[in-house]
Amino acid sequence: MVLRMPKKIPSILLTCTILMVLILIFTGILWAPAGTFIGGIDVPGYFYWSAAFISDTIRAGIIPLWNPYYYSGHPFLANPGNFIFYPSTLLYVLLPLPWAFTLDTLIHLFIAALGMFYLVRLITGSQMAGLTSAIVFGFNGYFIERIFAGHITLIHSAALIPWLFFFMEKALLAKSKVLFFLPGVALGIQILGGDPQVSFYTALFSSVYFLLRLLVDSKPFQPVGMIKTCGYFFLFPFTAFCISAVQILPSLELKAFSERAQNTYDFVTFMSFSPGQFFSFLIPRASSPSFNTNWEFGCYIGILALVIAGIGGLFYQNRKYVLCYGVLLFVVLTFMLGSFTPLYYLYFKYLPVISTFRGPARAIVMFDFILSIFIGFGIHYLHESGLKLGRYGVSILFAAVLAVCMYVGIVTFQVPLASKEVVSAIAILAVTVVLLSLTFAMKNRTPLIWLIIATLFVDLYIVYSDSVPRLSSKDLLKKQSYEQVFENDTSLYRVNTPGYEGKFYGLPARGMHHHYYGINGNSNIILNEYFTFIYNMADVPKPEMFRHTFSPELFSPSNAFSSRILGLKYAIVETPDGYKMMSTENYQPRVMIIRDIIFTPSYQDHIQILKNHDFDPQKKVLLEESARTAVSKIVQTDAIVQDWVYIELYATNRLKIRADAPSGGILLLSELYYPGWKAYVDGTSVPILRADYLLRAIPLGPGQHSIEVVYRPISFLVGSVISLFALLLLLFLWIARRYTTRIASNKMLEKKLKKRALTNKSMLSKKA
């Protein structure tokens, strides 16, 4: 019996194993308390309840196009932050939500790290360089701070950046038009992941990188070849749009009606990355009241990592890549700085879409991404060449500059020298100097490179491992006292609950799971006219920067019920004795029949009329003058007429109503007017009119009626067709390519066999 030695473990399998083990160690998932899951601040604030709503509706066979539970009913799928068509949404539909949140986080850390490994290995040809970049990118401050904050969509989007650049690099190296589909597929999936801002940065900066590579590679200058390659490049945005059209088109429609349709420069540059904030690259969580440690500025990759990145930028042999990524790093920097550079005003004025976003600091993800690539360059250089005397001196000088910057930051921001953050930073800086010295002195550098990789991981682990947050599903799902009141009241009404601080944060969003309807919410995009209406009715100034949930001023006893037409029955208000719940029995029903109509020149006049306490919105309805023809058959009479109306079905995207209006009338729904809602009276399509500034109204003729109101936005239907066609086409092209490749391989094999047969025949004839 012959014993065979086991085959060598494939490098990719070994890399995947290392990355998965490190992720499990870093997140502490193996020793986490039972009944807990990974979930940051915005998970209980919004994402958990959104995922519950998605899971419930999809399991019921319904696409959640509309959400009736917050902001008096709002478009749901159109909000990209709900990532309904992103692949990981299946986790939330198929698994218990705590499992889904944990797996979603772990999987995307792995996706991010593995994508970086492939990209850097493709550029450098080095497994160790790829692994180092993967570890730094997968555990950098941007990712961990986003986990801490509960920004699931930002984690989705950031994880796919290396894959897009990997496919772009493959396409550039092969100069194949087919391969330009691949970065388009990656970008399309990233857009579905839920964060338009990161997707915008990815599309923009990858396009800049493409142009840089085109210029660097075109030597001598070949205009025909460059034009041809640019033509191939347009497959990239075209493919991305087609795949994500099901999300893009509804989102563009929502944006046009949202409070983000027009923004000031101050709003757009809010949360810019100030020059002083670069101290976060050295000491990320400084114990100082004068230093902003908000997660929007999470950027730390490690002190040793910065030195290695500097070595990569200075000494890596392939200067083409250093040049392209160096220029790209500078471009990204101008976006990060926002209001701290005059260039951003030009971006604000002339770059499309960018005025939609606030928080230029979010470009940090691209900055960390590029630095992670430079770290791979540095590791490859150290492994292959080591440090000679002159370059060793430059590296030590660079470390010394970082030490000086650290000292200046400590003094400027008055950080205690004995604080854990400073002590850790000094220790890592000392280890960095030792490792550089060993790299200069030792000939066998492989063990030393592994030691550097381990130090990079330990550095990030010391800083961030305790930042991976845990939530208790039992505590999260426990009904609060006010929710028990809502549960016991089975009538159809709305509630006004705060969501801006402490125990109230996320309360408006909880209604998506506990089934109560709110006029408040917690979402990053709100219909502008709804936003305007709420603040105007309360005579409270609209906030400029913070718009995710209503301001505290709206929860005083005098303002809590100011939105008269929204069917508000309960409100939690702030009193001198603390927060209390108020209620009223005189709230507007969800559906009514009204015959007393007031026509106005435009709906903008409605707010002032509604604010007049002599106006009774349960007896009179406001319509635009242009709607007069549509309601001409309604008999306006002072005679007492016995009308009745009730809601037969109140569902996510559909309402069924029964009504008897002997004289006809206006069916007024306390539901928001928004494009895409269709009304059918006795099976016949009828127009939906805009009434009372915000609401839907349907003209009814005399008699009994069956009314159905459904949400079927054209933007979603068109986007669905485009995305479905794109997916089928890509699937067809993939199958066709596999088929033609197999045929070509078979033909090549046949030729080899024929050639071999002829050779054998010739040899036999010679022997004979």
At 759 the pLDDT is 64
Residue 701: phi and psi, rounded to 5, are: -80, 170
**Adjacent-strand bridge partners of 380:** none
At 163 the pLDDT is 97
Closest CA to 513 of 90, 212, 21, 67: 67
Rounded CA-CA distance 661/702 in Å is 5
Q: What mean pLDDT do residues 344-358 have?
A: 89
Greater confidence (548 vs 142) lies with 142
At 315 the pLDDT is 93
* Helices and strands of the chain, counted as H and E runs: 27, 19
Convert the pLDDT of each residue in 620-631 to its tens digit: 999 998 888 877
Residues 637 and 662: beta-carbon distance below 8 Å: no
Q: What mean pLDDT do residues 339-343 have?
A: 93
Convert the pLDDT of each residue in 670-688 to its tens digit: 999 999 999 999 999 999 9
CB crowding 463-480: b at 16 or more within 10 Å, else e: bbeebbbbbbbeebeeee
- ∠ at Cα 34 (31, 40), nearest 5°? 80
Whether the per-residue pLDDT at 499 is higher than 50: the answer is yes
Q: How confident is the model at residue 461 (pLDDT cuts 50, 70, 90)?
A: very high
Whether the per-residue pLDDT at 27 is higher than 70: the answer is yes
At 519 the pLDDT is 94
Convert the pLDDT of each residue in 304-320 to its tens digit: 999 999 999 999 999 99
Tokens read off for 26: 């870093």
Tokens read off for 82: 């709900």
- ∠ at Cα 301 (297, 307), nearest 5°? 125
DSSP-derived secondary structure for 721-756: HHHHHHHHHHHHHHHHHHHHHHHHHHHHHHHHHHHH
Tokens read off for 412: 């400027």
Rounded CA-CA distance 499/410 in Å is 36
Percent of the chain with pLDDT over 70: 93
Greater confidence (116 vs 550) lies with 116
DSSP-derived secondary structure for 394-459: HHHHHHHHHHHHHHHHHHHTT--TTSHHHHHHHHHHHHHHHHHHHHHH-S--HHHHHHHHHHHHHH
Q: Report CA torsion sign: 125, 131, 132, 135.
A: positive
Q: Which residue carries 């903008």 as its tokens? A: 604
At 1 the pLDDT is 41
Single-letter amino acid code for the residue at 233: F
At 2 the pLDDT is 44
Whether the per-residue pLDDT at 3 is higher than 70: the answer is no
Rounded CA-CA distance 668/618 in Å is 9
Q: For 473-511, where are the E strands, in sequence order?
A: 494-496
Whether the per-residue pLDDT at 220 is higher than 70: the answer is no
Q: How confident is the model at residue 706 (pLDDT cuts 50, 70, 90)?
A: very high
- Best-predicted range by mean pLDDT (81-90, 223-232, 555-564, 743-752): 81-90
Q: What mean pLDDT do residues 41-69 have?
A: 94
Convert the pLDDT of each residue in 437-450 to its tens digit: 888 777 788 899 99
DSSP state at residue 503: G
**Among 102-111, 329-338, 550-559, which stretch is predicted with the lowest mean pLDDT?**
550-559
Tokens read off for 254: 């929502």
Convert the pLDDT of each residue in 330-340 to its tens digit: 999 999 999 99
By three-state DSSP, how is residue 195 classified?
coil
Rounded CA-CA distance 438/442 in Å is 6
Torsion from C-alpha of 717, 718, 719, 721, nearest 10 degrees: 90
Q: How confident is the model at residue 663 (pLDDT cuts 50, 70, 90)?
A: confident
Q: How confident is the model at residue 291 (pLDDT cuts 50, 70, 90)?
A: confident
Whether the per-residue pLDDT at 635 is higher than 70: the answer is no
At 722 the pLDDT is 95
Rounded CA-CA distance 190/204 in Å is 13
Q: What mean pLDDT do residues 390-413 have?
A: 92
Q: How confident is the model at residue 203 (pLDDT cuts 50, 70, 90)?
A: very high
At 336 the pLDDT is 95
Average pLDDT, rounded, for the chain: 89
Q: Which residue carries 């997916």 as its tokens? A: 727
Single-letter amino acid code for the residue at 680: Y
Q: What mean pLDDT do residues 343-368 have?
A: 91
Whether the per-residue pLDDT at 102 is higher than 70: the answer is yes
Whether the per-residue pLDDT at 579 is higher than 90: the answer is no
Closest CA to 158 of 109, 209, 87, 106: 109
Report the predicted TM-score, pTM, of the whole model to 2 decimal places. Answer: 0.91
**Among 157-166, 401-410, 542-551, 567-576, which stretch is predicted with the lowest mean pLDDT?**
542-551
At 190 the pLDDT is 96
